[in-house]
Every structure is written in structure tokens, then in C-alpha cells.
Amino acid sequence: MFAGPRSTAILLIASVLLPGGSVLAQTQLTRIGYVDVQRVLARSAAGVAAREELERDKAAKQKEIETRRAEAEKLREELEKRGALLSQDARREKQDTLERKVRDLRRLADDFQKDLEKREQGLLQQSLQEITGVIERVGKQRGYLVILERRAAGVIYGAQEADVTEEVIKVYDQESARRKK
């Protein structure tokens, strides 16, 4: 009666009105499952790789920002220590250079943050699209009528047998590995 050991069956009863006003009760065995997409993103190889890539990019940009910040700080210290010994024009030139470096640093940090958010959003959209395809294939292969997203659907309780998250992670990892080859 059940399609597999991890299946969940919910008995749905539908009443159908027949001509003449009589009611016919039909029973249908329906499989409904759920998936925790956040867990798929967090535990799948592709999700982990995407986060690691973002972290590497973030670290590289942070290093660049820190280098420029150190340059600006060095210039500020030099201006404070030797500013009184410089001519008015030289001091003004160093002050302008410092202000430009600080302004460029802020712009760089803002651009970096926007770029990081854009890349993160793009990777998330791509991953969600791929995961949705995997969920659809798993659902069709296993004969599910519906697979719900655990958090978005507000699933408060779901039997472990109805949770297809681990299977989705497995299939998603296999497909991601094939795409990389």
C-alpha cells in the first residue's frame, strides 16, 4: 500500500454528489512530504561551497580595506606628528590626500558591501532554483502529491517519514558534483 519506508500516507476522504442527490465516498491514499530548504542550503555540498566562496571573497576584500585603512591611518599619524613642521601648502596637500583616502575607503567599503549582498542574493537564487528542481524530481519519482517547505508552510509537526530533506540534499549533491565535472 505504501510506496516506501520513508513514505507518509494521509487518508483523504472526498464526497462526490451523484445524480439524484446520493453521496459516494471515495478514499484515496495521498503522499505528502516536507523539506527544510534552509537545512538543504546549510548542509549540501553546493550550499557549503557557495558560503565558502563568499567568505573567501569577503576575506580578500576585507584585507584590501584593512591595507587602505592602514595607509590612511599612517598618513593621519604623520600629519599629526609632523604637521606643525610642514609649510601651510604641504600640510593642506597632506590633509587633502588624507580626506581623499578616507572618502575612497568609505566608498570602497560601501561598494564591497553592496557587491557582496548582490553576489549572495544571486547565489541564493541560483541555489533555490536548483533545489526546487531537485524537489520536483524527488516528488515525482517517489509519488508525492505535495511537498511543502517546512518553514514557509508553517509545518509545526511532521512525521520523520514525511521529511524528504536528507534525500533532497543527497540528490542535490549528486547533481552538483555532476555539473562540476
Using alpha carbons only, give the angle 46, 133, 161 rounded to the nearest 5 degrees: 85
Domain boundaries, the chain: 9-180
- What separation in angstroms does the CA of 131 have from each of 38, 57, 176? 11, 24, 10
Q: What are phi and psi of 24, to 5 degrees?
A: -110, 125
For 103-151, how does the pLDDT look when each residue is reduced to its tens digit (9 = 90+)?
999 999 999 999 999 999 999 999 999 999 999 999 999 899 999 999 8
Q: What is the pTM of this model?
A: 0.66
Please give the CATH number for the structural domain made up of 9-180: 3.30.910.20
For 143-173, how does the pLDDT look when each residue is reduced to its tens digit (9 = 90+)?
999 999 998 888 888 888 889 999 999 999 9
Residues whose CB falls within 8 Å of the CB of residue 140, separated by 6 or more in sequence, listed in order:
none
For 20-53, how does the pLDDT look when each residue is reduced to its tens digit (9 = 90+)?
554 444 444 578 999 999 999 999 998 999 899 9
Helix (H, G, I), strand (E, B) or coil at 8: coil
Residues whose CB falls within 8 Å of the CB of residue 62, separated by 6 or more in sequence, listed in order:
none
Given the DSSP bridges, would you call strands 9-17 and 23-35 parallel, antiparallel or unpaired? antiparallel
Measured CA to CA, the distance from residue 108 to residue 156 in angstroms comes to 44
